[in-house]
Amino acid sequence: MMSCPVCAHENPDGVRFCVKCGWQLIQMTGNVTSGLSPALADADAQHPNEAPPTSQLQPNANTQEFTPQDFLVLVVDDTVDNLVIISLHLQQSGYRVVTATDGEEAIKVAALTHPDLILMDISMPGLDGLGATRKIREHPTLRPVPIIAVTAFTTEGFQRAAYDAGMEGYLTKPIDFERLNDLIRSLLPVRKADDANTLGGDE
């Protein structure tokens, strides 16, 4: 287990970014670091739960090649095992990841970190995934963020409810990670710079 130097969250061995706050733990070389580059240390110390700016993480974005580390994914699930499994898979694929364990926390984390995509469990205590999605769709800056349902519910009724709430994708557990990868890739631009001038546009 690796303790995050920013939020003290205990992360599983092998993750690149803290699954709680998004702080970089392991560089591409695999060496454990105390954080991001010195230029980002002061800013992140002031805002420990805010993910580092994508432009600083990936300065050479003048390419048409899809770069997962340009993108931050919020994973929402009330089961810790699911959070760890999904987060590890995404981070091994290169994505940055933050997590939440219920609908209310998902809204708060999303508003703070502005993820590029959200994986949302449906059945959660308190505010469920459908209710959280509806609230996110009412948020002025979070409204365009793609949301994918990741749930054990397989019926057409739940699928219709998910799409009616504003979700763009629906995956059932156990997760087919190849399908998850394809769905995420279909909902994200080639590079984040392409999204900067088209927020709220065609999606």
Residue 107 binned pLDDT confidence (cut-offs 50, 70, 90): very high
* pLDDT single digits (tens) 24-70: 776 433 333 333 333 333 333 333 333 334 333 344 444 468 899 99
Q: What are the structural domains of the chain? A: 2-58+65-192 (3.40.50.2300)
pLDDT more than 70, % of the chain? 73
What pLDDT, on a 0 to 100 scale, did the predictor assign at position 26? 60
Query: HSE on the CB side for 188, CA within 13 Å?
Result: 26
Query: HSE on the CB side for 168, CA within 13 Å?
Result: 18
pTM equals 0.68
- Burial call 68-79: b when 16+ CB within 10 Å, e when fewer: bbbbbbbbbbbe
